[in-house]
Structure 1
Amino acid sequence: MANGTHILTGLSAYLDLDKYRYAFFVFFLALYALILCTNGTIIHIIWIHRNLHEPMYIFIAALSLNSLFFSTAIYPKLFVDVLSQGKSGSHTACLLQLFCFYTFGASDFFLLLAMAIDRFVSICKPLQYATTMRTSDVTIFLALAWLLPACQIGTGTLMIVKQKMCTFISVGIFCNNSANKLLCVRSQMFVAYGVFIFLSILVLPVLSILLMYIRIFIVVHRHCDGAWQKATDTCLPHLIVLICFSFLAVFDVIMNRMESKIPKTVRLIMMLQIVEYNPLLNPIIYGVKMKKIRKQIKSIKWF
């Protein structure tokens, strides 16, 4: 594979950028600015208020920070594509975007898993909470949430680098796993590792989270002394984010397998949902549903 190989990317394959180039640029710039402002507000509020320096809120701040990383891996390149009307990009740049996209996407699931563990211990084993969720433990959870996906996705990306690329096709508005179609031959080891990544960064974390929340709701159902309200207030936002992001992640996999059978308009809409829905959903849900955060947002003097 030559480093000079180019791959078709961008919105040109889906939209008429000749007439509405600047309209699309303003639209995506507004989305990116909104993502920066909303997630930045959540991070700032949690950072400056000491009463929010608890594991649950630290994980929420980490989730917002991860959304900023995730969006920054997508939107600047999208701006360039819209303004330049360029369809091509280097293979190296595509793989870098692919690495960032899946690393930060997977980190979302691991951060949600850490939040589920925090809620599980807090509600089901409150006497062990102080010893289980110490500052050092929270730091370890955060480090693993970013390092594990980076190592796993990084290994997969290196495997792609070593493969020969033959096809010159469009991979969509950004580089995702559809870039694998550029490979001449996919070895059995490469396919097996792809299945391993899918199970380890999506299936296992999601199943673990769901099992913990099922356990939480069983426990609080047996103790109806106000515990149910506490559980729904703190767990429901996590579940909403988990379900929405899991749906989009599964669609990303399905789209790669059945791209030819999915209408182009549907593919475009879902690809845009993937890059905008969760970064916008996280701060809105946590800003509305978490009482302490909502209280601090209301107290902000915006003007």
Structure 2
Amino acid sequence: MILYLFCVVTLNSVHVRRIMINSTQVSYFILSAYFNTGGFKYLFFMIVMSLYMLIIGSNLLLIVVICMNRSLHEPMYLFLCSLFVNELVGSTGLFPFLLVQILSDIHTVSAPLCFLQIYCLFLYAIVEFFNLAIMSYDRYLAICYPLQYNTRMAFNKITVLLAVIWSYASVLSVVPVILSVPLQLCGNIINKVYCDNYPIVKLACSDTTANNIYGLFAAFLTVFVPVSLIFYSYMRILRVCFSGCKQTRQKAVSTCTPHLASLLNFSFGAFFEITQSRFNMNGVPNMLRVFLSLYWLTCQPLLNPFLYGLNLSKIRILTRNLIFH
């Protein structure tokens, strides 16, 4: 009897250790949101490749235009340059990976590459939101304090602001990856077309308290701080517009319209992504879920160059001169 109990305990402990070993040695993840497209995968590949080339070409062109023309070395255009660089970061973190998966019959990704993609997409999202928030504050200073604008937005202050945004976003993005890598996982299936941190945390067998607390803390910093700055800036802009002259209102409309369109587009895309990641959407067709998860990573980098390039006459004229001369 004692020998029997000893054997049972030994076998159970071996089984537990085997589960723990398997849970900590997830070397790859399976992306289950892909669906069989048959011969159409080459058509999808060409469409996605065309979108990626268009995003890279348009954003890179505007970065070159801003960097090469000293007349564009002003606060608004320097913030735009940072925004376009971030679009390249976000799209490059997604599209090459997406192109490989479209052509592949087995939709798997190694764990290191998966966590690298999570970091890149977190970095893109945080920089995008904070960059748009700083741009709203820049527009507030330009409209409400035109005589003091050059002093308040001196070149050294812009450099510090951009450095803080990128450094802060880098630190904020790497922490969830550091917290997720050592998690003991009981599965390796992610119901998405790219890697995301939240589905990986849901696969964990171990304690995820630190991940959840940091997730709430990071969400508060990433959303509350930029939203507060944006709200404050636009409230002050509206106040000046209602009490100012017609010329002030025209200036506010012409400079704030592209920014508001970009901000709303990104906010709606991020909202769709959070909704479909956090809540059960099994009743929604798979193709629509895929579209919603990709919207914020594709439409924003695609929209911004045309939104600012076509609306801001200074950029439009210099871009035309660069292309045709």
What is the TM-score with the length of structure 1 in the denominator?
0.93
Deviation at 1:296, TM superposition (A): 2.0
Q: Please say if 1:196 is aligned against 2:217.
A: yes
Amino acid aligned to 1:150: S
Moved more, 97-106 or 293-302: 293-302
Residue 266 (structure 1) aligns with:
288
* Structure 1 residues 267 and 49: CA distance shift in structure 2, 3 A: same
2:236 to 215, 235, 238: 215
State the 1:230 CA deviation. Answer: 0.8
Moved beyond 6 Å, runs of 4+: none
Report the more deviating stretch, 245-254 or 122-131: 122-131
Aligned match for 1:283, one of 294, 301, 305: 305
TM superposition shift of 1:274: 2.1
Between the aligned partners of 2:186 and 2:152, the Cα distance in structure 1 is: 51
What are the residue-to-residue correspondences of 1:83-98 with 2, within 5 Å? 83-98=103-118
- Residue aligning to 1:231: 252
Counterpart for residue 170 of structure 1: 190
Q: Is the contact between residue 185 and residue 204 of structure 2 (CA under 8 Å) also seen in structure 1?
A: yes
Q: Secondary structure at the match of 2:158?
A: helix
- 1:184 pairs, out of 196, 205, 211, with 205
Instruction: Judge conservation of contact 1:119–1:235 (CA < 8 Å) in 2.
Output: yes
- Inter-CA distance 13–155: structure 2 relative to 1 (3 Å threshold): closer
Task: Write the deviation string for residues 98-144 of structure 1: whole angstroms up to 9, x where unpaired.
Answer: 11101111101111122112111121122332222111111111111
2:83 is matched by which residue type in structure 1?
L
- Aligned partners of 2:129, 2:301: CA distance in 1, in Å? 13
CA distance in 1, matches of 2:283, 2:173: 26
Residue 235 of structure 1, CA deviation: 1.2
Q: Which residue of 2 aligns with 1:112?
A: 132
Please tell me whether the aligned partners of residues 104 and 146 of structure 1 are also in contact (alpha carbons under 8 angstroms). no
Question: CA 1:56–1:262 in 2, change beyond 3 Å: closer, same or farther?
Answer: farther
Q: How many angstroms apart in 1 are the aligned matches of 2:102 and 2:208?
A: 35
Q: Which runs of 5+ in 1 are unaligned?
A: none
Q: What amino acid sits opposite 2:174 in the alignment?
A: G
Partner of 1:295: 317
Can you list the C-alpha shifts for 1:225-283, whole angstroms capped at 9, x where unaligned?
40111111111111111111011112222112114445122211112212210000110
Alignment check: 8 A CA contact 2:184 2:204 kept: yes
Q: Which amino acid is 2:156 matched to?
A: S
Superposition TM-score, scaled by structure 2 size: 0.87
Q: Which amino acid is the alignment partner of residue 197 of structure 1?
A: A
Q: Which residue matches 1:122?
A: 142
User: Following the alignment from structure 1 to structure 2, what is the Cα–Cα distance between the partners of residues 214 and 239?
Assistant: 13
Residue range with higher mean Cα deviation, 175-184 or 64-73 = 175-184
Given the superposition, is the C-alpha separation of residues 186 and 241 from structure 1 closer, same or farther in structure 2, using an over 3 Å criterion?
Answer: farther
Q: Could you report, residue by residue, the CA deviation over 1:187-207 in whole angstroms, capped at 9, with x for unpaired residues?
A: 333212101111211232123
| CA distances 1:55-97 after superposition (whole Å, capped 9, x unpaired) | 1001111101110011101111111112222311122211110
C-alpha distance in structure 1 between counterparts of 2:244 and 2:311, whole Å: 23
Q: Kindly tell me: are residues 274 and 259 of structure 1, through their superposed partners in 2, closer, same or farther at Cα, counting changes over 3 Å?
A: farther
Q: Secondary structure at the match of 1:89?
A: strand
Q: Is the 8 A contact 1:123 1:231 kept in 2?
A: yes
- Report how many residues are paired: 301
Distance 1:301 1:72 in 2: 24
Q: Give the equivalent residue in structure 1 for 2:10.
A: none
Q: Compute the RMSD of aligned alpha carbons.
A: 1.8
Q: Given that residues 6 and 91 in structure 1 are in contact (C-alpha distance below 8 angstroms), is that contact kept between their aligned partners in structure 2?
A: yes
Aligned residue for 1:164, secondary structure, equals coil
